[in-house]
Structure 1
Amino acid sequence: MRSICGVCVLLTSAVLSSAAHAELAYGGDAAVLGTFTAEQLQAIRGGAEYKSSALFSTDWSSDSRGSSYALGGIGGAIDGVTPGQAGWKTYGGSVNSYNIATTTDLGRAGRALTVSGSKKAATYRYAFQDLSSQWNARRATDNVLWAEYEQYTPGTDAGSANIAGLTMFDSSNRALAGMGVGYGSGIGSSHPHRSVYGIAYNFGISGFDNYYYRLSGSGAPLANGGWTKFATSFNKSTGVVQWFYSVDGGSSYTGYYINSWAAGASLSTADFRMNNFGVFDNAGATAVFGNLNVYALPTPGAAVLALAGALCSRRRRA
């Protein structure tokens, strides 16, 4: 059973994705970490060591498991159970909602996963990988879950209420860490087009839930649209969740964090999601996701965090 925004959906035990409903569980603005150079972010991430700690990676031509990808549909069905290309499972919409496509016309060589979101309110799309076995086989000291990916957002506000991005869940359907971008102003004036959100399981106005935290304040930082780099992490030991995004191709990143209520949880799935949070039908949208990398990393030491210029004295909520 997965709960998104307070609604539980009963699924078979093999299904690790589920639906959303129209009400966005909004947690307010996240705490600011600061602005970091690419070198500082690499220090936080763990220097060069992270490359040997990959759980899964793909450029949509091949992946770290040795699978090759063909252009076209990625899902085997939309039941969240039947595997498609390279083990990807899909849930919501139709099999035509999830495709691998070239991105030359978007100013980037290579391929991407495209997910078509509905104009219908309270609808959803999920494309996910089960990474539980990789997480369980990680080194004992690697308790930081870290993911990086790229995402393309259009410049035009079509009035959609879809939010799309990556979320990593545990087996109890808690969002360990995730990020999303708004694809229009259809949710309301306080959620402008191209707003950036961090996602985490926490306690708030709706009780315990998977909350969306706005990282861009009242404005939308992705002013020009285009390609954006995202990174997010979850510390299994402390529950601290971090979010970073770069609008300049990875030269600098803006960082945020919260202390979540998911400490001790383990990774189950990595989900590319598109959820329409409208109360009424609005406009559809298409999300485009570039390269994905998921790691299990050791907790960076205080000296490394100090070098990176990050706060290293945050304490877990009592």
Structure 2
Amino acid sequence: MPKLVVFAPFAARHRQLIEQSAAGLETVFLSAGLSAETQKAALSDAEIVIGEPEWEAVAASDTLRLLQMTWAGTDKYTRTGKTFPDGIALCNASGAFGPMMAEYAVRQLRAFYPNSFNGQTALILGAGDVGTRTAEQLHEQGATCIGVRRNTTEKEPCFDRLCTLHEAEDWLCRVDSIVCCLPNTPETVGWLNAYRIGLMRQDAVLLNMGRGNFIDTNALTEALQTGRLRGAVLDVTEPEPLPEDHPLRQLSNVRLTPHIAGASFGVSDDTEDRIAAICCENVRRYLQKEPLRNRVL
């Protein structure tokens, strides 16, 4: 019998839904913290896996055909310098984290703008699910939102304007806040460098909940130390975590959080519900030979 292996701490109600979506498969739930060797054994005859098993376990399987992640980011498999195995579809859980991360962004920005977002302009670098949800909340509270994405032809009501990452440089000197939620790509690594930080307004606030390597940490530290920027909220950093003696930890205009903006299992039932729904839908789609949702490879 074909087998589905789950390496994620789903609640009992979600396990039941996964089993229902995988009718006809042997479904096995295992701990996410197993060794690579144990994972290899578990995947040796599995057709579908949900979770984030180690690369070695995925590459060693001759039977695996679908890897459904519970994360939105796929760096673990796509930024390794290795070629992802042929014949295995890789899907992420994009769409599950937007509401929670938007709430995080608005709550953190409130520390710098406690009265109102009315009349402010926000540049949202990454107008996907997370960025769009963030823009919706800010727009509802009176902010003008500029969204950054590759495709600028598909309009969103919450964005007053869309532009490309190249065009975003022209907006840095014109906005009150910059929200970073871009994925890790060669184009985005180090994009917010010393030169571009220097273009930002002195009263601007920077919030990063995308990837730490999007920002030149040394340049940002200097700008915050010298009062060149009003403040920063950093849920992700480069390196991560920051060393205990890093200057950013000592600055009163910096809010650091330990990569929790998109927390899910054991933190947010709503987010876990959405992750489970995506996983169940893709298991069903796979079994019915329908196009998969959120397919990356």
TM over 0.5: no
Rg: which structure is higher? 2
Higher strand share: 1
Pairwise TM-score range, normalised by the shorter structure: under 0.3
Scaled by the length of structure 1, the TM-score of the pair is: 0.23
Higher helix share: 2
